[in-house]
A and B are shown apart, each in its own frame.
Chain A
Amino acid sequence: MSIDMSQFHQVFFEECFEGLEAMESGLLSLNIGDIDSEVINTIFRAAHSIKGGSGTFGFTVVAEYTHIMETLLDEMRDGRRQVTKKAVDVLLGSVDCLREMLTSIQNEEDVNMVSAAKHQAALEIELNGSAGSGSAPKAIEVHEIAPVAVANESEEIDEEQGWKIAFCPYLNLLKTGNDPVRLFRELNGLGEFTANVNIQDVPPFDELDPEECNISWELKLVTDAKEAAIREIFSWVEDDCALEIAPLSKPKKVKKLKVTPSAPAVDVVEVISVAPEVVESTAKKAAAVVESDPSKNTPKASSSIRVDTDKIDTLINMVGEVVITQSMLGLIGENFTMDKVGQLKRGLAQLERHTRDLQQSVMNIRMLPISFVFSRFPRLVHDISTQLHKKITLKLVGENTEVDKAVVELINDPLVHLIRNSLDHGIEMPAERIAAGKPEMGTIELKAYHRGGHIVIEIVDDGRGMDKAKLLAKAIEKGLVDEATIMSDKQILELIFMPGFSTAEKLTDISGRGVGMDVVRRNIQSLGGNIDIISELGKGSTIAIHLPLTLAILDGQSVAVGDETYIVPLVSIIESINITEKMLNKVAGKGETFKLRSEYLPIIRMREIFNVKSGEATKSNEGVIVVVEGQGALCGFLVDELLGQQQVVIKSLEANYRRVEGVSGATILGDGSVALILDVPGLVRLSVR
């Protein structure tokens, strides 16, 4: 009986990643020193199902690794072990490591064994370290440390072409400036490469010299490369090691190395004495080189979506309604007489309502709670605040706010950037905070809520805020603005979105390269949103991102300018008014404004800004002013006529052309012609220029 297991892989990976997220958030909410059995149980369950799943699918590496985590968690659950910060950090590290492993397996790449071994070693140490008394030598099972390779199945095939290499460096290998990891990488380039590390010879901690290489390796390379090619890789270290190369088909047991991954457990449970730090540090060193290229391991974007059964039930109901209405209309049409017109009209109205409902429920399926994005941030804040020695709590508000899947996917990177900025530049060091009379613990609040047809995401910190004088000085120094320009506070704050602007005195690896904020703003604008800053020196900053709820359909007001038809998104319209000559004023003979109740609003003549040539010029007393809100300010669009409201499907102009300023997209009207959708904030920007 053979079932194709690969069809379940996608589901398995999704469940695993969900489990990992649950573990992560559980770990972060664990109070140090306090055992909350409910939380530990949750983490344990997640680990357990990952272990079970990966065992079923034959991903032994993952299963074995999770098993060790589970042991540790089990002890915590039973109260046999304290929840220490170190233990939590190690577990968090292993969550990352598991995620990396699963991503590699999902992308059908080789698992990065070096980094796995490193985490596994750390886990073992945590597990065994506190079992005995602190100073006693710690027992470590060799076979657990030896990286277990994906090559488990291939081990059984005898005819494999390749080489078995016993690599025993002399003590001075590291001193000569050679790095085994580099060699391994070279070997990896030749074919399927597996390394087993042997740490039998590592001396007890008090006799250890960190510059000596006490470990040796047994390497397996499945390749069709010649022996000479392998010899060449080792040519640099030939004098500093004992090297034996043998073909794979006739396995030659090197006396020193007893450990192979497929050997039965009895054989390999060799208890040796080893100082944990050594393993960790050597492994870390080894891992550091390999890990330097994490960008390769980006997980595949998930193309499936989990939907509430409730939502599907509603959808099915809707479809039922539509079918009923359709058959009713069909009945009317069968032998139509004029006296049935009323009935027909009612039927059509019903159909329209159902279609709209149906459309809404379909769109609802694409909606995901924003917690999909937010849930990653507690970890980020935890890691970075530790790294920066700051004390910061992250508050999440409105995680259940729903937003389109596409927005969820695209908003993550800008948010990460903004939160890093708040962590790095916003929140002060604890001492500084106390001196300023603020609580030692800084707070970053991440809020999401709906307003109008938009979702608003706010990042609020209570840090040092932005120094407007400093911003302005910096901008002048960099030549981004003229010294003579008079700028409002808001304009000064917006300087940080200019390309090449960074006020951080020193660059850190977290933020401060000045390439970020302009990219953030551009990304958000490309989603059809905008970004605002409010900041008060000494009190903190608030960054608010406004995004459209969905990227596919919008409610629009169609307006006519000459022969052209444009769609104004309904959400940005405040009101529309007929104008009379008296309402218009000119400032200095140029800028036109009009008085709306007590406010003076600037007027944008659509005909002029879009260079529309058809039709007669709009007379001042005939047009309609559509009052819109864009970039936080009100302004009036002068158009010839209002045509009607309708829902429009957004079509991209960029797909076949390119971005047009002041236009966010196109749509197809009922008569088959194209109409352009106005980008209100963009037009306001355009008119300022």
Chain B
Amino acid sequence: MTTDYIAANSKQIEQFLTFELANEVYGVEILKVQEIRGWEAVRVIPNAPSFIKGVLNLRGSVIPIVDLRERFSLEHCDYTQKTVVIVLCVKRSHAETFVMGIVADAVSDVLDIKCSEIKKAPNFGAQLDTRYMRGMHVYKQNMIMLLDVDKLLNPDELDDIETISDSVSVDYDELL
């Protein structure tokens, strides 16, 4: 579906919010972002997967917080003053949306990206699951991984702890 979508809208420009995670840059569609806030203590959910840090009170509704470092099996790092929570509005199904937060090291920028410049993620085989990726984009010689938030944060998907990457060590020359 992603490829068709890209082909049909190749001239369109989409905005992405980029953020850092273990020195890699990731991006999410800005239309999904509800707000950005500083890290604060959360309430732990018992017996939840380790990447679900807990739940937070966001003006009266209880939202879960996902640590993407742990989700992607990156090395753990302590939360600091600079750690941010990006609150995203995710589509669960056609009509249902829900709110979730992701922890990132820092927010970097908002980029205008032409849909034609979004490259499909190459098949990394078993070592890397690309289902959660919208695609990849090269910005000033830097790789940006664009995440498909709806798939990545679907609560039904949160069970399979699969790694997306241990940082992209794969050769991506073909993309450039």
* Interface residues of A, Cβ cutoff 8 Å to B: 564-565, 609-612, 614, 651-653, 655-658, 660-663, 666, 668, 672-676
Question: Does B41 interact with chain A (Cβ within 8 Å)?
Answer: yes
Q: Chain B residues near A658 (CB, 8 Å)?
A: 155-156, 158
Known: A656-B99, A657-B55, A666-B55. A611 touches B62 (CB 8 A): no
* Contact (Cβ within 8 A) A655 B60: no
* Contact (Cβ within 8 A) A674 B46: no
Q: Which of B13-36 contact A (CB under 8 A)?
A: none
* Contact (Cβ within 8 A) B43 A655: no
Q: Which of B45-66 contact A (CB under 8 A)?
A: 45-48, 54-57, 60-64
Most buried by A among B47, B60, B100, B158: B47
Most buried by B among A658, A661, A675: A658
* Contact (Cβ within 8 A) B57 A656: no
Q: Which of B57, B98, B155 contacts A673 (CB 8 A)?
A: B57
Q: Which 5 A-B pairs have the closest CB atoms?
A: A610-B46, A674-B43, A657-B64, A656-B98, A658-B155
Q: Chain B residues near A672 (CB, 8 Å)?
A: 57
Question: Does B110 interact with chain A (Cβ within 8 Å)?
Answer: no
Which residue from chain B places its CB closest to the CB of A665 in the assembled complex?
Answer: B62
Q: Chain A residues near B55 (CB, 8 Å)?
A: 653, 657, 666, 674, 676
Q: Which of B144-161 contact A (CB under 8 A)?
A: 155-156, 158
In the bound assembly, the distance between CA atoms of A286 and B41 in angstroms comes to 67
Question: Does B175 interact with chain A (Cβ within 8 Å)?
Answer: no
Count of chain A to chain B residue pairs whose CB atoms are closer than 8 Å in the complex: 70
In the bound assembly, the distance between CA atoms of A656 and B55 in angstroms comes to 10
* Contact (Cβ within 8 A) A662 B46: yes
Q: Chain B residues near A564 (CB, 8 Å)?
A: 43-44
Known: A655-B62, A666-B55, A674-B57. A611 touches B47 (CB 8 A): yes
Q: Which of B74-109 contact A (CB under 8 A)?
A: 98-100
Q: Which of B106-141 contact A (CB under 8 A)?
A: none
Q: Chain B residues near A565 (CB, 8 Å)?
A: 43
* Contact (Cβ within 8 A) A676 B98: no
In the bound assembly, the distance between CA atoms of A565 and B43 in angstroms comes to 8
Shortest beta-carbon distance, B66 to chain A, in Å? 10
* Contact (Cβ within 8 A) A675 B43: yes
Q: Which of B41, B46, B48, B61 contacts A651 (CB 8 A)?
A: B61
Q: Which of B46, B47, B54, B98 contacts A655 (CB 8 A)?
A: B98
* Contact (Cβ within 8 A) A609 B41: no
Q: Which of A655, A660, A668 contacts B45 (CB 8 A)?
A: A660
* Contact (Cβ within 8 A) B43 A651: no
In the bound assembly, the distance between CA atoms of A565 and B48 in angstroms comes to 16
* Contact (Cβ within 8 A) A655 B61: yes
* Contact (Cβ within 8 A) B44 A656: no
Shortest beta-carbon distance, A604 to chain B, in Å? 12
In the bound assembly, the distance between CA atoms of A454 and B42 in angstroms comes to 32
Which residue from chain A places its CB closest to the CB of B63 in the assembled complex?
Answer: A656
* Contact (Cβ within 8 A) B56 A674: yes
Given contacts A658-B158, A674-B57, 9 further A-B contacts (CB under 8 A): A612-B46, A653-B55, A656-B100, A657-B63, A657-B155, A660-B46, A666-B55, A666-B62, A668-B60
Q: Chain A residues near B43 (CB, 8 Å)?
A: 564-565, 666, 673-676
Known: A656-B62, A673-B41, A674-B62. A609 touches B57 (CB 8 A): no
Q: Chain A residues near B47 (CB, 8 Å)?
A: 610-611, 660-662
In the bound assembly, the distance between CA atoms of A673 and B56 in angstroms comes to 7
* Contact (Cβ within 8 A) B61 A676: no
29 contacts between A and B (CB under 8 A): A564-B43, A609-B46, A611-B47, A612-B44, A612-B46, A651-B61, A653-B45, A653-B62, A656-B98, A656-B99, A656-B100, A657-B63, A657-B64, A657-B100, A660-B45, A660-B46, A661-B47, A666-B43, A666-B62, A672-B57, A673-B57, A674-B42, A674-B43, A674-B56, A674-B62, A675-B43, A676-B43, A676-B45, A676-B55
In the bound assembly, the distance between CA atoms of A663 and B64 in angstroms comes to 14
Shortest beta-carbon distance, B159 to chain A, in Å? 9
Q: Chain B residues near A674 (CB, 8 Å)?
A: 42-43, 54-57, 62
In the bound assembly, the distance between CA atoms of A489 and B47 in angstroms comes to 32
Q: Chain A residues near B57 (CB, 8 Å)?
A: 668, 672-674
* Contact (Cβ within 8 A) B46 A676: yes
Which residue from chain A places its CB closest to the CB of B97 in the assembled complex?
Answer: A656
Which residue from chain B places its CB closest to the CB of A566 in the assembled complex?
Answer: B46
Which residue from chain A places its CB closest to the CB of B46 in the assembled complex?
Answer: A610
Most buried by B among A564, A565, A609: A564
In the bound assembly, the distance between CA atoms of A249 and B14 in angstroms comes to 54
Which residue from chain B places its CB closest to the CB of A613 in the assembled complex?
Answer: B44
In the bound assembly, the distance between CA atoms of A653 and B62 in angstroms comes to 7
Q: Chain A residues near B156 (CB, 8 Å)?
A: 658
Q: Chain B residues near A668 (CB, 8 Å)?
A: 57, 60, 62
Shortest beta-carbon distance, B79 to chain A, in Å? 15
In the bound assembly, the distance between CA atoms of A655 and B64 in angstroms comes to 10
Shortest beta-carbon distance, A587 to chain B, in Å? 25
Q: Chain B residues near A662 (CB, 8 Å)?
A: 46-47
Shortest beta-carbon distance, A647 to chain B, in Å? 16
Which residue from chain B places its CB closest to the CB of A662 in the assembled complex?
Answer: B46
Q: Chain A residues near B62 (CB, 8 Å)?
A: 651-653, 655-657, 666, 668, 674
Shortest beta-carbon distance, B141 to chain A, in Å? 38
Which residue from chain B places its CB closest to the CB of A674 in the assembled complex?
Answer: B43
In the bound assembly, the distance between CA atoms of A612 and B41 in angstroms comes to 15
In the bound assembly, the distance between CA atoms of A660 and B158 in angstroms comes to 13
Shortest beta-carbon distance, B22 to chain A, in Å? 24
Which residue from chain A places its CB closest to the CB of B56 in the assembled complex?
Answer: A674
Shortest beta-carbon distance, A684 to chain B, in Å? 15
* Contact (Cβ within 8 A) B64 A656: yes
Shortest beta-carbon distance, B130 to chain A, in Å? 25
Q: Chain A residues near B100 (CB, 8 Å)?
A: 656-657
Shortest beta-carbon distance, B53 to chain A, in Å? 12
Shortest beta-carbon distance, B88 to chain A, in Å? 11
Most buried by A among B55, B62, B100, B156: B62
In the bound assembly, the distance between CA atoms of A676 and B61 in angstroms comes to 13
In the bound assembly, the distance between CA atoms of A661 and B48 in angstroms comes to 10
In the bound assembly, the distance between CA atoms of A614 and B46 in angstroms comes to 12
Shortest beta-carbon distance, B24 to chain A, in Å? 27
Shortest beta-carbon distance, B163 to chain A, in Å? 22
Q: Chain A residues near B46 (CB, 8 Å)?
A: 609-612, 660, 662-663, 676
Shortest beta-carbon distance, A618 to chain B, in Å? 16
Shortest beta-carbon distance, B143 to chain A, in Å? 31
Q: Chain A residues near B61 (CB, 8 Å)?
A: 651, 655-656
Shortest beta-carbon distance, A33 to chain B, in Å? 55
Which residue from chain B places its CB closest to the CB of A671 in the assembled complex?
Answer: B57
Q: Chain B residues near A676 (CB, 8 Å)?
A: 43, 45-46, 55
Q: Chain B residues near A655 (CB, 8 Å)?
A: 61-62, 98
Shortest beta-carbon distance, B160 to chain A, in Å? 14
In the bound assembly, the distance between CA atoms of A666 and B45 in angstroms comes to 10
Shortest beta-carbon distance, A565 to chain B, in Å? 8
Shortest beta-carbon distance, B33 to chain A, in Å? 16
Shortest beta-carbon distance, A262 to chain B, in Å? 43
Which residue from chain A places its CB closest to the CB of B155 in the assembled complex?
Answer: A658
Shortest beta-carbon distance, A567 to chain B, in Å? 11
Q: Chain B residues near A660 (CB, 8 Å)?
A: 45-48
Shortest beta-carbon distance, A674 to chain B, in Å? 4
In the bound assembly, the distance between CA atoms of A660 and B62 in angstroms comes to 13
Shortest beta-carbon distance, B64 to chain A, in Å? 4
In the bound assembly, the distance between CA atoms of A45 and B98 in angstroms comes to 50
In the bound assembly, the distance between CA atoms of A523 and B56 in angstroms comes to 28
Q: Chain A residues near B64 (CB, 8 Å)?
A: 656-657
Q: Chain B residues near A673 (CB, 8 Å)?
A: 41, 43, 57
Shortest beta-carbon distance, A559 to chain B, in Å? 14
